[in-house]
Structure formats: structure tokens, C-alpha cells
Amino acid sequence: MTDFAIGMWGMGALFVMLALRIPVAFAMFAVGFVGISLLNGTRAAMSYLATESFTLSSSAELVVVPLFILMGNVATETGMSRRLYDAAYAIIGSVRGGLASATVIGCGGFAALSGSSVASALTMGKVSLGEMERFNYDHRLSTGAVAAGGTLGILIPPSTGFVIYAILTQESIGRLFLAGVLPGLLLLLMFVLTVTLLCWINPAMGPAGPRTTMNEKLAAMIGALPIVSVILITIGGIYTGIFSPVEASAVGAGLIIAIGLITRKLTLRAFWAAAQSSVTTTATVMLILIAAHMINPFLALSHIPQEFGTFLAGLNLPPLVILALILGSYLILGCFLEGFAMLVLTMPIFFPIVQQLGFDPIWFGVLVVLTLEMGLISPPVGINVFIVKSVAPHVDLGTIFRGVIPFWIAMVVTLIILVAFPQISLIMPNTMIN
């Protein structure tokens, strides 16, 4: 049996294990270890397992993962994330669809704290769904806004998706963070426009909420000021070169903890809960990364990336068509695979092709992360949909999936805009002070 045939059998076994709901990290460990053993010997497989685990675990760059996750969890436990929603609600909650738009904006703000789509959907779902139900919002609009708004957590920096992409491709985390700012704001604007359009077509979907006075608006904005300040300091510090992404994560986590202590919202019990959740999430991410570094050598030894690249090159298609095929593959895989698993499985295959085509790897990273977001609300996996279902158990899944369709279309439009105008993604990283 040829090396390529062993590689294809290994990938087939991997997808079978994923279909059987075996955790993706364990499935990749098994396929990578067995595959390397068959192609290069058991001693080589053991060596990869030991060295890759140590190298990743001791990587200073990966410190950003637990620190940014801790920052988001502390903000949730202390109720700081709700103030973002309260501020947005006070400003635009009195217009049709205002509560849904406020939810999307709140998700964007929380995304800039946590870097987690699941955490954004879960937190903002708990905060906003009850309010929208109280004002008779259509369940399709309310749940769709929460599920879609939560996806901003993987695009607006700090983003765990960008960190993993950077580790897999050896690109700069700081440049990727900055590249996600304008696309993230563009997608947030597209979501707000989607809410506005839906309520214009059918006003009953999002009735207007109660009006707030100017004093109430000012009070809500002042309440959100500490959180907004932390966001501006962390992202602004990276942009101006005052500190690196690793340092920014420490600054952000430290500021959030300090604010919690000063306001006496951060109790020992709340901090312990935030720390436990952060450790669990970090361990999951690290396990997936280590497993990815086990399967990547197996793919290289089996020559699957080279064969796939040769096949695409032989089609003599224009580069943009090949890019469309790659992004289309992500959209299809997103219906069945979890986003991070998809990233670590496909990057060894697609990234060399992208490099051969001469596309900017930072720009490509933004496009990939956006397509991963779309998988978060695509059936049948759509993890954000199931998160919203857990918060609103009385709403059936079909209603939630119908609710996310307009937002999914908005994401497609955003993806097309970013492909057509790469500078939207590249202007900030290209002007960053090194």
C-alpha cells in the first residue's frame, strides 16, 4: 500500500470516528499516532508525541488563550458583560427591533472581551432572550440574533480562532487580531442592518421597546465605560505597539480583575468559578492543538497536501475560483464538523495551496475564520443554535434555525465583500507599528 493510500485510509477512519461522536482530539491522536507508526515507525510516533506536547505546552504565545478566556469569564461572573447590553439597549432599544440590535451589539462587545463564540451566545442569551420575550419579539428574530451575534466571538479580537490559525500557520497573532477588527465591525453592522430590514418587512417581529430618558442613557453608558475602556486599552495597545498580544492578554485580564475587586463584584466564589471554567476551556483547546500537531506530520508523510495541491493546479482554474472552492469546502464541512476541528484538519492541506497562489495569509485567515463562524449556525451541528436552545428550551430547534437564515445570508454577503476588497482586512495590520 502506498503512502498516499495509507493517508486516505487514515482520513477516512478519522471522519468515521468523528461521526461516531468520538472527541476530535482523541480521534486525531489515534489517527496521527497509528499513521506515523505505519509510515515512519513506532519510535518516530512516540518521539512526535513527546516533543510536540512539550513544545506546545511551553509556548509563550499560547499564554493569550487562558488569559483572554479568564478575562471573559470574570466579566461574565461579575455581571460586567450585561452592562454592554444595557448601554446598547438604552440607546436603541426604543426603536423597532432595537432589542435584537442591542443584543447583536452586546455580543460584539462581549466578543471583544472573551474571544469565544459559545460564551458570547450563552451569556447574551441569558441576558437578552427574557427581555425580548417580555416585549413579544418573534422567536425567530430573538433567537436568531443571539445565535448569530454570538459568532462574532471568533472574529472580533481577541479571538481564539485567530490564535489557533496563527499557531498552525506560523503567522503573527498581533497582525491577525488587527486584521479582524474592521471585518468584525462590518459583520456587526450587517447583522444590525439585517434586524432593521426584517422589522421593516414585518414590524410585528420586533416591537419597539420603552423609551429611555437622556439621564438613563448616560447612566447606562457610564456603567459600560470600564468594560469599553479595557477593550480599547488591549486592542489599542496592540495596534500602537505598546505591548504584544501576550502582554495585552495579561493587561486585559488584570484590568478586569482589578475592576471587579474595586467595585466589589468579584467575590472569591465568582473568581473560583471563572478560573475553573477558564482551565477547562484552555485544556480543551490545548488538547486539540497537540492532537493537530500529531496528525500534521502524518499528512505530510502521506503526501496528501501535495497531491491535493497538484490536483487543483491541474484543473487550470483561476486563483479566485480555487479560493472559492476552498471557502465552499469550509462551508460544507461546517455543517458537520466543529470549527476548531475543521481548522486543524484542513489547514495543512489548504494553506500550502494558498501560499502557492500568492494570497496574503493574513487575509486568508480572516476569510477562513469568517467561514468557521458560519458553521456555528449551520445545520445540523450549529453549536450556537444548540447553545441558544439550552437557554430557551421552549423554542424548538426548527424555529431557531429558521431565525438564523437571514443572518447567515448576511455573513455570505460580508464574505463576498471581504474577498472583493482585501484591504478591509489588511489596512490595520499593514499600518501597525512594529
* Residue 1 maps to a domain: no
* Residue 144 maps to a domain: yes
| Cβ atoms of 114 and 65 closer than 8 Å | no
* Residue 33 maps to a domain: no
SS3 sequence of 279-308: HHHHHHHHHHHHHHHHHHHHHHHHCHHHHH
Residue pLDDT tens, the chain, 434 long: 788 888 889 888 887 887 787 877 788 788 888 988 988 888 888 887 777 777 777 777 778 778 877 887 888 788 777 787 778 778 877 788 888 888 888 888 777 766 667 667 777 777 788 778 888 899 999 999 998 988 887 788 777 788 889 888 888 888 998 899 899 999 999 999 999 999 999 988 988 777 888 888 888 888 888 888 887 888 788 777 788 777 888 888 899 899 999 988 888 888 998 898 888 877 877 777 777 777 778 877 887 766 776 777 677 788 899 899 889 888 877 776 667 777 877 888 888 888 888 899 999 999 999 998 888 788 766 778 877 887 788 888 889 989 999 999 999 999 999 999 999 999 988 886 55
* Residue 206 maps to a domain: yes
* Residue 207 maps to a domain: yes
DSSP state of 157: S
* Residue 352 maps to a domain: yes
**H helix intervals, 243-382:** 245-262, 268-302, 304-314, 319-333, 339-357, 361-375
Half-sphere exposure of 403 (CA within 13 A, CB side): 28
Q: Is 172 left (phi over 0), alpha (psi -120 to 50) or beta?
A: beta
DSSP state of 96: T
Which structural domain, as residue segments, surrounds residue 81? 62-430
* C-alpha distances out from residue 53 to 46, 65, 81, 172, 379, Å: 11, 16, 35, 21, 34
| Grid cell of 284 as nine digits | 480543551
* Residue 12 maps to a domain: no
DSSP assignment of 105-133? HHHHHHHHHH--HHHHHHHHHHHHHHHHH
* Residue 357 maps to a domain: yes
Q: How far apart are CA 304 and CA 184, in angstroms?
A: 33
The domain tally of the chain equals 1
